[in-house]
Amino acid sequence: FCSFICSPQLFAIFAFATCGGYSGGLRLSVDCVNKTESNLSIDIAFAYPFRLHQVTFEVPTCEGKERQKLALIGDSSSSAEFFVTVAVFAFLYSLAATVVYIFFQNKYRENNRGPLIDFIVTVVFSFLWLVGSSAWAKGLSDVKVATDPKEVLLLMSACKQPSNKCMAVHSPVMSSLNTSVLSEIQSGKALKTRKRVATVTGL
């Protein structure tokens, strides 16, 4: 019984916690011919909701003390915020359904309105899960490309000169964001399973 009710809640929690609470970063190194102009520790931090075009940073040009101000490319905030919003509301709905199933089971079984409403709402959430997971999967792909150290290095004028050495010190860790997409897909499946069980058994 709990597996059909609790699973959507657990997967929804994982979905919005791993995405909505994410913060990451990368570190780059620009080693100029003139060592005094080098910067071997360029930190770039970003976080939910992934408005990457607002993430700015400065890098050496290797041409005296002049510095180049750059920004990451892209804005995945709409897909990320939609993803988290669906996850939050899915969690709240699953929580409310749990209360109804446990404490108001008799009223739920009295007529077909309860199961019918439950069925309709669950169908809507299943659709939103599908749309949300697809949109965020594309958004996450864009975030990965935009924060790829190799792509960021291409933005720097100093790195276009063969005499300067540009390197990635470390890349952002995306494992939790990958988990968020998988969690949303699993939550959608769990909602569909609970929908079928509620429709057939009235539980």
Q: Are residues 90 and 8 in contact, defined by beta-carbon separation less than 8 angstroms?
A: yes
Q: Are residues 167 and 31 in contact, defined by beta-carbon separation less than 8 angstroms?
A: yes
How many domains does one find in the chain?
Answer: 1
Q: Produce one character per residue of 155-193: b if its CB has 16 or more CB atoms within 10 Å, e if not.
A: ebebbeeeebebeeeebbeeebbeebbebbbbbbebbbe
| 161 within some domain | yes
Q: Residue 166: phi, psi to the nearest 5?
A: -115, 130
Q: Are residues 70 and 155 in contact, defined by beta-carbon separation less than 8 angstroms?
A: yes
The answer to whether the peptide bond before residue 8 is cis (omega within 30 degrees of 0) is no
Per the structure, the complete domain to which residue 139 belongs is given by 1-198
| 174 within some domain | yes
| 102 within some domain | yes
What pLDDT was estimated at residue 113?
76
What pLDDT was estimated at residue 50?
96
* Residues constituting the chain: 203
- Percentage of the chain surpassing pLDDT 90? 50
Q: Are residues 16 and 129 in contact, defined by beta-carbon separation less than 8 angstroms?
A: no
| 57 within some domain | yes
| 203 within some domain | no
Which residues, in sequence order, are bridge partners of residue 46? 24
Whose tokens are 């276009």? That residue is 160
pLDDT at 171 over 60: yes
Helix, coil or strand: residue 56: strand
What the block records as the tokens of 145 is 């490309």
What pLDDT was estimated at residue 193?
53
The pLDDT of 78-88, averaged and rounded, is 91
- Between 54 and 129, the more confident residue is 54
| 158 within some domain | yes
pLDDT tens for 88-147 read: 888 888 888 888 878 877 776 776 677 788 788 888 888 888 888 889 999 999 999 999
- Between 95 and 8, the more confident residue is 95
Task: Using pLDDT thresholds of 50, 70 and 90, give the confidence band for residue 189.
Answer: low
pTM, to two decimals: 0.81
Distance CA 43, CA 146 (A): 15
Pick the range with the lowest mean pLDDT from 20-29, 81-90, 119-128. Answer: 119-128
Distance CA 4, CA 42 (A): 48
**Mean of the per-residue pLDDT values for the chain?**
83
What pLDDT was estimated at residue 180?
80
